[in-house]
Structure 1
Amino acid sequence: MTNRRILVLVRDGHVPPLTLDGVTEDELTPWKAEFDVCETLRRLGHDVLPVGVYDDLAPIREALRDFQPDITFMLLEEFHGVVTYDFAVISYLELMQQPYTGCNPRGLLLSKDKALSKKVLSYHRIPTPRFAVFPYGRKTHRPKKLSFPLFVKSVIEDASFGIAQASIVHTDEALAERVAFLHDKTKDDVIAEQFIEGRELYVGVVGNTRLTTFPAWEMDFGKMPDDVARIATRTVKFNRKYQEKHDITTRAADDLDAATADRISKICKRVYRALSMSGYARMDLRMTSEGGIFVIEANANPNIEYGEDFSESAEVAGIDYESLMQRIINLGLSYKAAWMAT
C-alpha cells in the first residue's frame, strides 16, 4: 500500500484533535465521524491534513497549493449552510484537477434532490412511492392519484430534518398544514409521497463501475407504541434516551432469504447507476409484508463513522473499518473524472 497525502474537508469547527484525551462523549458526538476517518487514515500510514470549511473556498485552494494532496477526502456535507452545495465543492475539486473520495458532482446533484431523483427512478421503472411536489409559495393541492396516508418532507434536507410523527398525514387539511410548516421552515419546496407500511432497510453500495452491495441493515423500532408510525424521525435516529426507552436499534436484516437479498442488491445497483453515483452511497428502502421493495431515497456520501450502519454492514461483509477507508481512498483515486481525458 502506498502512503498518501490526504486532505480531509470537514465543516468549520469539526476539525478533530489528534487524540481523545480529556474529550467527553457529548463533545465528541458532533465530529466523531471526522475523528474516526482521520485517526484511521493516520493509522494506515497516510499523511492527513483536516481543514475546516464553511463559506470560503480559500482554505481549500491554499491547502491544495501548500499541502499538494494526492487525494481529498470529502466529509463536507454543506457549504455556507446549504446542503445542496456539496456538489459545487466537488466540482471545484474537479476544476482544480484534484482526485476526491465519494460521489461525483452529477450524482450528488441528482441524489440530493428527492423530487428529481424520483423522476429519474420512475423513468427507469425502479419502484418508488408515488409522490407530488408542492412548490414554495404556492397553495397545496393534492393530485387525485395521490392517496393517503402520505409522508411529507423537505425536497432537499437530509438527516431526517423536519421529520416527525406529524409528517404522516391522513387528510387534506393535515397535508396543507404540514406543507405550510415545512415551507416556512426550509423556504423551499416540499414533497409528499405515499407512505409505505413495512420494514425500513438501509443498503450500502460501493464502487465506480463495478459495484458491491453490503448486507441489508434494518431499523428495529423496538417497543414503540402501537399508535405511532414506524418512521425514522429525528427523535428515533438521534435521541439516545428515547432509543433506550423504546429499545430502538439498527441491526443486520439477517432473516432475508437469498432471493430477496439478491433482489434488493440488484435494485440498489440500478439506483446507483441511474443516478450516476460513484464512490459510496446508502440506499433507503421500505419492504412491505408481501415482499414489495420501494426505494425511498439514495444518499451519496453517507455517515461512515465507526460503529454506524454503513461501516457495521461492511464489517458483516468481511471488510473491517481500516479496509473500508482504504477502499474509499482507492475508489477516489481510480475514478475517471472528465479532466483526466484532456
Structure 2
Amino acid sequence: MKVALTCNTLPPGYSQESGDDTFAEFDAPSTVLAIRSALLRYCDSVEVVEADEDAYEKLKKGNFDLAFNIAEGIRGEAREAQIPAMLEMLGIPYSGSGVTTLAITLDKRRTKEVLVANGIRTPRFQLLTRGGDLSIDLKFPLFLKPNCEGSSRGITARSLVNSKEELEEVASEMVATYRQPVLVEEYLTGREFTVGLLGNPPEVLPVVEVGFEALPEGAPKFDCYEVKWIYDSLDVGYDTTVCPAHLDDDLRSRIEDVAKRTFEALEVRDLCRLDLRLDGDGEPSVFDVNALPGLIPDPAENSRFPKAAYAAGYSYEELIGRVFNAALRREGISR
C-alpha cells in the first residue's frame, strides 16, 4: 500500500513562540517525520505531499492507495477542505473528515449554527462582518476571535472585552488584520475542557482540563495564542493542562455525551478534538471544534489530542495507526 501524507510544513526558521502567528496552523518537520515513521508500521511506503499549488499534480501522478491527511490548506476561508476536494476528484480515499465537514468546522459561526440546530449548547454569539454594524445584543464580558482561523490565530490577551469601547477597538483591529468577520460570543467563566475523539463510532479519550491558575501575574487567564504557544512552550515551561481531568462520574458522562453528539452532528470522521466550558447551569457548552487536531509527538509540548491518547494508554505509533485503520475500515479497504 502506498500512502500520501498530505500536510503543510512550517517554513525554515519559523517559530510559533516568536509571536508571529502567520504559519501557526502548519506542522513542524519533526511532526511530519514522526507521522511518516508511524505510518510505515502499517503500509509499504509513504510519500510526503506538501499541500501547495503543486499538490494536485503530485497526487494525480502518485498512484496512491490512500492519503493520510493533516493539511491545513494555504489560503481561503474553507482552506482545510482544499486537499480533500482534490482527493475526491481523483478518487483517492483519505483519512479524516470530508470536504463539507472541514469547510464548516473552520467556520466558527457555521459550526455553532449546526450545534444550535442539534440542541447542543454553545455560548450565545454574533458575527461582526467587515464594514458592518458593530452593535451587539450580547452580555459582557465578550470573547472575540477571527471567524475562520485555527491554532488560536488572532486570539490574544485582548480578545476578552468588557465594554463597548473595547469591543469596537479590538473587533476593528481584528477585521483589518485577518480580513474576515469576527465571531463574538458571551464569555463563560466555568471550567474549561478539551476532548479528543478517535474512530467511528468514536472512542472518547480521557478528558483534558485547561487551567490558568499557575500562569504568572499579568498572563491571560484564558486560552489564547500567548498561553498556548508562548507560556505553555518548551522554553517557558508552564503547563496549563491536566489529563485525565478530575471529574465526577456525572460530569464526565455529560461531557462525553455532548462530545459524541457534536461528532455526529457535524459528521466528523476518524478523529476530532473539541473545546468546551461549563456554562452558568454547570452544563458543558461547546465553543470550538477541530476536525484536524494537532499531532505533535513530543509529550513535553502538551499537544492536547496526543496527550489524551497517551493517557488512554496509546503510544504515538498506535494513535496514528488507529486513525489510519479507522479510515481503511470506513472506506472498506483491506490490507
Q: TM-score by structure 2 length?
A: 0.86
Query: After the TM superposition, which residues 196-211 of structure 1 pair with which residues of structure 2 at under 5 Å, given as runs?
Result: 196-208=188-200, 210-211=201-202
> For residue 18 of structure 1, what is the aligned residue in structure 2?
none
Larger Rg: 1
Task: Output the amino acid matched with 2:105.
Answer: S
Within a 5 Å distance, the mapping from 1:23-172 to structure 2 comes to 30-44=28-42, 46-54=44-52, 56=53, 58-65=54-61, 67-79=62-74, 81-82=75-76, 84-143=78-137, 146-172=138-164
Q: 1:10 aligns with which of 7, 18, 22?
A: 7
Give, in whole Å, the separation in 1 of the partners of 2:202 and 2:34.
25
**Residue 324 in structure 1 maps to residue 319 in structure 2:** yes
Gaps of 5+ in 2: 13-26
- Counterpart Cα distance in 1 of 2:44 and 2:208: 31
In the other structure, the counterpart of 2:305 is 310
Whether the aligned pair in 2 keeps the contact of 1:204 and 1:281 (CA below 8 Å) is: yes
Alpha-carbon distance between aligned partners in 2 of 1:273 and 1:45, rounded to the nearest angstrom: 29
Q: Summarize the Cα distance change of 1:107–1:131 in structure 2 as closer, same or farther, 3 Å threshold.
A: same
* Aligned-CA RMSD value: 2.5
- Aligned match of 2:245: 254
Alpha-carbon distance between aligned partners in 1 of 2:280 and 2:136, rounded to the nearest angstrom: 27
Letter matched to residue 34 of structure 1:
V
Give yes or no for the alignment of 1:279 onto 2:279: no
Instruction: Report the residue type matching 1:189 in the other structure.
Output: P
* 8 A contact 1:213–1:265 mirrored in 2: yes
Quote the offset at 1:288 in angstroms: 5.1
Output the TM-score relative to the length of structure 1: 0.84
Q: Is the 8 A contact 1:207 1:279 kept in 2?
A: yes
User: Counterparts of 2:267 and 2:273 in 1: how far apart (Å)?
Assistant: 14
Matched residue type, 2:204: T
1: CA distance, partners of 2:132 / 2:311: 47
**CA deviation string 1:253-280 (max 9, x = no partner):** 4310122111111101111111121121
- Percent identity between matched residues is 26
The structural deviation recorded for 1:88 is 2.6
Q: Which structure 1 residue ranges, 5 or more long, are not aligned?
A: 16-28
